[in-house]
């Protein structure tokens, strides 16, 4: 494949592309104290020239349902030259060697979870005055812990976590155990952002490389953040999506393919389950 131009618009960072159930589903309901928002996702692809013949897939938002009140429901409104694949839950298309191709789809996405305005204010307060947020005895739902609380890799336990605790004590003058899980989650994100030097890669880096060389992009940083969150008993998962960046014209070569992004780009971030608050996005 020689050149692929990928154009994406009308999306938000909250839009998730985690694999789950079939793409057509009933409307989601807002959790207690939360909210539902409606988004529209358009993904289009233009192939100008290719030496490849076969089936390819487009990023497609998925139906997801996490314990703890996070639900996303998707309905494809219109599509052109694309077919929904029931096995992978992605939109797919067929390329033929030497031929051009254009296809797109538009989906309505309903995302229900925490009230983002309220949570943004709370996060700002926790970062500005973390000493007001003391540890609380709040349990994590069993299904959430079973699905989203993993084992922390050794290199994170031996290298990244001690580095975080030194940084944390220097910044706040007290150990992490003196603060709530909300403060801990937010400051872990701040630490990863400052500790890792941002460097784009078309492929995910091994966690060992991320920690030892202290380099990574959004998905690399997200995987490190998840491992650190796990080490403190905080369930977490990575979400992939797109963010609108008006005026962006970005080219990304991947092997024999050149991806061109207009007005938006791929992004990965973390969803953490914080007791008392539920699932919160950490970016």
CA-CA distances (angstroms) from residue 71 to 20, 67, 122, 223? 11, 9, 21, 22
Tokens of 216: 């990574």
> What confidence tens digit (pLDDT) does each residue in 52-102 have?
899 999 989 999 998 888 999 999 999 999 999 999 999 999 999 999 999
CA-CA distances (angstroms) from residue 231 to 34, 150, 225? 28, 9, 10
Q: How confident is the model at residue 29 (pLDDT cuts 50, 70, 90)?
A: low
From the list 271, 282, 223, the residue with the least C-alpha distance to 69 is 271
Domains of the chain: 1-114 (no CATH), 116-239+265-283 (3.10.620.30)
> What confidence tens digit (pLDDT) does each residue in 206-244 have?
999 999 999 999 999 999 999 999 999 999 999 988 788
**Max CA distance (Å), the chain:** 63
167 — alpha (psi -120 to 50), left (phi > 0) or beta?
alpha
* Helix, strand, coil percent values for the chain (each to nearest 5): 30, 40, 30
Using a 10 angstrom Cβ sphere, with 0-12 exposed, 13-18 middle and 19 or more buried, the burial of residue 137 is exposed
pTM: 0.83
């Amino acid at each position: 494949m020689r050149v692929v131009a990928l154009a994406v618009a009308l999306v938000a960072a909250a839009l998730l592309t985690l694999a789950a159930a079939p793409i057509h589903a009933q409307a989601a309901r807002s959790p207690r104290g939360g909210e539902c928002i409606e988004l529209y996702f358009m993904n289009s692809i233009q192939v100008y020239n290719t030496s490849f013949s076969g089936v390819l897939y487009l990023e497609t938002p998925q139906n997801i349902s996490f314990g703890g009140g996070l639900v996303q429901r998707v309905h494809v409104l219109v599509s052109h030259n694309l077919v929904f694949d029931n096995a992978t839950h992605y939109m797919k298309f067929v390329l033929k060697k030497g031929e051009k191709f254009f296809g797109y789809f538009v989906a309505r996405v309903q995302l229900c979870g925490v009230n983002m305005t309220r949570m943004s204010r709370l996060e700002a307060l926790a970062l500005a005055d973390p000493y007001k947020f003391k540890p609380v005895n709040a349990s994590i739902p069993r299904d959430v812990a079973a699905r989203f609380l993993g084992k922390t890799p050794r290199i994170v336990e031996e290298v990244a976590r001690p580095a975080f605790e030194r940084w944390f004590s220097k910044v706040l003058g007290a150990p992490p155990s003196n603060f709530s899980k909300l403060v801990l989650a937010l400051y872990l994100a701040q630490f990863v952002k400052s500790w890792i030097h941002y460097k784009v890669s078309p492929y995910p880096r091994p966690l060992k490389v991320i920690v030892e060389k202290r380099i990574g992009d959004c998905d690399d940083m997200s995987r490190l953040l998840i491992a650190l969150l796990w080490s403190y008993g905080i369930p977490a998962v990575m979400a992939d999506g797109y963010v609108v960046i008006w005026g962006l014209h970005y080219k990304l070569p991947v092997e024999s393919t050149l991806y061109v992004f207009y007005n938006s780009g791929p992004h990965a971030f973390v969803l953490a389950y914080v007791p008392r608050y539920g699932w919160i996005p950490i970016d």
